[in-house]
Amino acid sequence: MQQTRVLVCDDSALMRQQLKKIIESDPEFCVVGAARDGNDAVDKARDLRPDVVTMDINMPGIDGITALQLIVEEKIAPVVMVSSLTQQGAEATLQAMALGAFDYIAKPGGTVTANMSSVAREITRKLRAATITGTLDRLSRPSADSQTRLVRAQQREVRGRTRRRSLASGIGYRAVAIGISTGGPKTLMEVLPFIPADLNAAIFVVQHMPPTFTCSFAKRINDNCPMRCYETEAGMRVEPNTIYLAKGGHHLTLFKKENNEILIRAPKRPEHLFIPSVDIMMESVLSVFGSDTVGVLMTGMGDDGANTMVKIREAEGATIAESQESAIVFGMPQEAINRGGAEVVAPSWDIAGEIIKAVGGGAF
């Protein structure tokens, strides 16, 4: 079996040693080099041509984000960032994801930690996923320009106005339930900024992400989208024309009062592989909005959300899955498609338009 060749980049000798030990504990991988700073990382990536790179964000000289850009632009290898769980680390990691990083691994105990073994399985799982054929091309592709996307969205809006015009739930607006994981920060920025502020829907988003990251990500969405965006808090009132990003470490569920007012709940249970969970969020949204639910499943490993996409379609809601053409990791949307839960399959750059079409345009 040919081994996956990994380049490890970190300014800490301890971290380089720990990462090498964890990676090579899996016979599928071998570490072909180690770099101590950004310049060294770029030089060794060019020389060694690894299959995948782990990259620390904070390094002397050229930092990890600049090194990432050079490696991705030159299409050398996918890059998995290694970051701290601080707010500063979250903001830098989100920037790296927007610039083409495949995914990130959050250090469990600060910039230098002796506890990387606690995330060993996550490390090898993400390195393995990063080397799937075509991943680097999808990470480095240029985004469709804004004007092209707006024209596509407007075209779908016109065609969609007669499609789902009547509202069945009695709430007065629809719900868009979006589930996404690996590659999500980059992909969501290919969708949410192109949804108009007057769309007659509330948008609920589960992005698999640590608790310390979701506040920064909600702010990034809010700063770049026509709709306002909030990180969810228990008791928050749901309103249309608003994006609700599930808080890390908490599920996103809804409670409907007798007067049709809807409130956010943010429980930590039930136990699940992912907290927040796409399936749990979609199930709750479906229980409140019924056929007025639009389910959307995009890039990510595994199958979180796939079963509930089937239920949304069976309840005569609308369902949209990202196509393999654009998905950085095709796992989650592929499972929805294979199980019959995808009414529409579209690349990320067309999903905003498909959402507009499913909702029925702007405010009525």
Active site residues: 181, 208, 304
Rounded CA-CA distance 170/215 in Å is 32
CA distances from 300 to 103, 142, 144, 195, 281 (A): 10, 20, 21, 22, 16
CA nearest neighbour of 110 among 87, 90, 84, 89: 84
The per-residue DSSP string of 253-305 comes to EEEE-TTS-EEEE----S--SSSS-HHHHHHHHHHHHGGGEEEEE-S-SS-TT
Rounded CA-CA distance 224/246 in Å is 18
**Secondary structure E strands in the chain:** 4-9, 29-35, 52-56, 79-83, 103-106, 174-180, 201-207, 228-231, 242-245, 253-256, 262-265, 293-297, 318-322, 344-346
CB 179 within 8 A of CB 335: no
CB 332 within 8 A of CB 303: yes
Hey, CA dihedral for 88, 222, 178, 185, is it positive or negative?
A: negative
Rounded CA-CA distance 104/86 in Å is 14
Question: In DSSP terms, which residues pair with 52 in a beta bridge?
Answer: 6
Between CA 155 and CA 165, with CA 161 as vertex, the angle to 5 degrees is: 155
Question: In DSSP terms, which residues pair with 54 in a beta bridge?
Answer: 8, 80
Q: Tell me if residue 27 falls in helix, strand or coil.
A: coil
The per-residue DSSP string of 332-343 comes to HHHHHHHTT--S
